[in-house]
Amino acid sequence: MAYNDTPDIIYTIVDEAPQLASGSLLPIISSFAKAAGVSVGTRDISLAGRIIAAFPEGLSEEQRQNDDLAALGELVKTADANVIKLPNISASVPQLVAAVKELQSQGFDIPDYPEAPETAADKAVRARFDAIKGSAVNPVLREGNSDRRAAAAVKNYAQNNPHRMGAWTAESKTRVASMSGGDFFSNEASATLGDATSAKIVHVAADGTETVLKDGVSYPAGTVVDATFMSAKALDEFLVDQIAQTKAEGTLFSLHMKATMMKVSDPIIFGHAVKAWLAPVFEQFGAEMDELGVNPNSGLGDLLDRVKDQPAIMAAIDAITAERPPMYMVDSDRGITNLHVPSDVIIDASMPALIRAGGKGWGPDGKEADSNCVIPDNSYAPVYDATIEFFKTNGALNPATAGTVQNLGLMAQKAEEYGSHPTTFEMSAAGTVKMVLDDGTVIHEHNVDAGDIWRSASTRKAPIEDWVNLAIERQKATGYRAIFWLDENRAHDAQLLAYVKPILEAKGVADKFEIMAPREATVASLETITKGENTIAITGNVLRDYLTDLFPILELATSAKMLSIVKLMNGGGLFETGAGGSAPKHVQQLMEENHLRWDSLGEFCALGESFKFLADAKNNAKARILGDAVETATQGVLDHDRSPGRKVGQPDNRDSHYWFARYWAEALAAQSDDADLAAHFAPIAKALADGEEAIVSELAAVRGAAADTGGYYHTDAAKTAAVMRPSATLNAIIG
């Protein structure tokens, strides 16, 4: 189904906390925009929405949904795109299974997720689910590179209202552990293709049997193509060793992966950790657990659920758990460990939170403790290692005086590791993996063993050039210290540098940029911001992800307040809200005590940018007025401390939207560029001010009791609206 017309601005329907917040904020945005003749439409990219769109055959007409993600994927390749993208669930298998179960319980005839597909029909269903799994939205929408930074108002606020930081001392036992070889980092090979070509990936077993793992992968001219693998044997030895070292050191064992975005490789690595942790149980009961459908890649939570009625297996698990070091917990009250669900501990958010807390994680006893942070691959682990060492030496960062690290990330067109899923394989046998071009040239070749994880990633020329040019623009606009976080000694980075250096030379700006490997760049950036100065981190895709949580969480307490712009390569605009995720813990709190602590500052920032983009792209003067007023309102929310509190009883997300609407209306009423708009918003501003007492008390009245939104993944629109819009006075004004 195609859409007849594209609204001026598209606001995405997502999941969890940001979607709950939209229940309150979006009616305000739509109503204000409409008054200025700006249309705001929605497109559903939620996990539930994507499942429904993928399996129409069992559904009634009313239940069916358009494939909005595919439609948006086309739109972002045009200059017309103006999309506000909120964070969505990048589903791990347990999340996917839970969402399917919920939809089935609501009467949607959706097939079960086939855990071990054997028939052709099951394999086809599985392929449809695999396209929904993991980070399936962002790579489709991100047809541009990433520009993430704190708006000046947000940074100023953070300096004037510094958040609490845990103390760091030289005695901290917290550290990062990574493999000393056999990992993706040490096995990487990289080459730049002169001409457009296609390639196939072939596995040749020791007995000469050839298996084509993938055929017809096509690359435009100038693509940087990498190949690497992680040795399963080296990984297992490393994990066994780290479990033992953790116990000896008296710290918590923690594993930090990105099983959502690295949806093929990282769940396998996570599964190795589950197996290493329960090694004697797998040795003794491997066959039985196989029968019960245990898949270690789905985590300890799923495993325990499947073996809970098997006393012998449960006893073996208890016995080995008693011998293990304590594990880093996701929720110690409920016994949820680091290894329960692969999507619970996600490195970009988990490591910064631990570092901000002074190197502390939560242990099974509900107390904070130092932690051994296991990050098997060495490509980016040095960033966290260097940060931790820096704080051990220098003490925690002071957010009152620290400068800022902005990020320009190479992200477009599935750049680097984040686009590697279709070309990642777990080896079923020992042999050689070859990457063979059309003309027969073998560009990469690795000797592998059974179980090794081999993957190829690629990065296209146009995004690389666009990224370097964006970096030049940003450096020029700010004058900040600008560092390309590239390691001359890493195969992939060396190929990138062959692009970067000539562009900088040709533009006569080579002297404005430094080039440093991630470890050195981390130290240099921390030194810079410690002095109160600012720097731009120009990075690849994974570091974009890691740094845009790490530095914001240290500087601002959260990455939710970030400005996150994707300048689409074909001219459109994609405005992401914040740099974080969908905050499942916030939903839990809303359901239990009707308090939503989600901070919509990211949405406010994105909204302002989106209006301004519309103003420029379509020469829409009213959109500019709306955008300027959004900035004033955002400033008002900060200046008057109207952001949500964390605890029930404090003002929450809904209160912050009331204040945002009020400041927005006041700014629109006060401006003199458009008399009609001023006249329209003057009575609204007055009504919002006059209604303050009623609105605040109506919002406060609902808090404390459980809230029902009719579902978790697929909520009921009317019930959610009732929960998120409990103020009749406010609703009447907004209309």
Ligand X SMILES: NC(=O)C1=CN([C@@H]2O[C@H](COP(=O)(O)OP(=O)(O)OC[C@H]3O[C@@H](n4cnc5c(N)ncnc54)[C@H](OP(=O)(O)O)[C@@H]3O)[C@@H](O)[C@H]2O)C=CC1
Ligand Y SMILES: O=C(O)CCC(=O)C(=O)O
Positions that interact with ligand X (CB under 6 A): 87-90, 138, 260, 343, 346, 349, 558, 560, 578, 580-585, 597-599, 602
Q: How far apart are the C-alpha atoms of 11 and 715, rounded to whole Å?
A: 18
The kind and range of the H/E element at 685 are helix 675-690
**Near ligand Y in 232-261, by CB under 6 A:** 260-261
Is the CB of 260 or the CB of 372 nearer to ligand Y? 260
CA distance 612 to 154: 18
- Distance, C-alpha 573 to centroid of its chain: 19
Please name the residue that has the structure tokens 């009921």: 716
Query: Is position 135 an interface residue for ligand Y (rule: CB under 6 A)?
Result: yes
- The CA angle 262-263-265, to the nearest 5 degrees, is 70
3-state secondary structure of 596: coil
Judge contact between 111 and 122, C-beta under 8 A: no
- Nearest 5°: phi and psi at 322? -65, -25
Of 266 and 599, CB closest to ligand X: 599
CB of 96 to ligand Y, least distance (A): 13
Site track for ligand Y across 534-553, x = CB under 6 A: -----------x--x-----
- The size of the interface with ligand Y (CB under 6 A), counted in residues, is 9
The least distance separating Mg ion from the CB of residue 140, rounded to whole angstroms, comes to 16
> Which of Mg ion, ligand Y, ligand X, none is residue 599 near (CB under 5 to 8 Å by kind)?
ligand X
Binding mask 338-357 for ligand Y (x = CB under 6 A): ----------x---------
The yes or no reply on residue 30 touching ligand Y (CB under 6 A) is no
Indicate the residue whose CB is closest to Mg ion. Answer: 348
- β-partners of residue 96 are none
**Pairwise CA distance, residues 243 & 177, whole Å:** 11
Residue closest to 290 by CA, chosen among 313, 323, 317: 313
By C-alpha distance, which of 136, 93, 90 is closest to 114? 93
Contact flags string 691-720 toward Mg ion, x per CB under 5 A: ------------------------------
Shortest Cβ 579–Mg ion spacing (Å): 6
**Which helix (DSSP H) or strand (DSSP E) does residue 591 occupy?**
helix 584-593
Is residue 226 a contact residue for Mg ion (CB under 5 A)?
Answer: no
- Which of 15/102 has CB closer to Mg ion? 15
Nearer to ligand Y, 21 or 579 (CB): 579
Minimum distance from residue 53 beta carbon to ligand X (Å): 18
* CA angle (444, 450, 451) in 5-degree steps: 95
Of 534-553, binders to Mg ion (CB under 5 A) are 545
The distance of closest approach from Cβ of residue 138 to Mg ion in the complex, given in angstroms and rounded to an integer, is 9
> Contact 252/369 with Cβ under 8 angstroms?
yes
Pick the closer one to ligand X by CB: 475 or 600. Answer: 600
Q: How far is the CB of 579 from ligand Y (least distance, A)?
A: 5
Cβ proximity to ligand X, 340 vs 490, nearer residue: 340
With CB under 6 A as the contact rule, the residue among 138, 387, 635, 653 that binds ligand Y is: 138
138 versus 379: smaller Cβ distance to ligand X = 138
Cβ distance to ligand X smaller for residue 223 or 297: 297
What's the DSSP call for residue 334?
T
Structure-token match 């927005």, residue found: 664
CB of residue 654 to ligand X, shortest distance in Å: 13
- What does 251 interact with, of Mg ion, ligand X, ligand Y, none (CB < 5 to 8 A by kind)? none
**Tokens 């993938």 found at:** 214
**Residues in 59-98 at the binding interface with ligand Y, rule: CB under 6 A:** 90
The residue from 68, 348, 377, 652 that contacts Mg ion (CB under 5 A) is 348
CB neighbours (10 Å) of residue 646? 11
Contacts of 47 (CB under 8 A, 6+ apart): 15, 88, 89, 91, 95, 96, 99, 132, 713
522: tokens are 């981390």
Residue 186 or 582 with smaller CB distance to ligand Y = 582
Check residue 134 and report its DSSP letter. Answer: B
Decide whether 353 or 700 has the Cβ nearer to Mg ion.
Answer: 353
Which position's Cβ is nearest ligand Y? 90
At what angle are helices 279-291 and 311-323 packed, to 10 degrees?
160
Footprint of Mg ion (CB under 5 A)? 348, 545
Footprint of ligand Y (CB under 6 A)? 90, 135, 138, 260-261, 348, 545, 548, 579
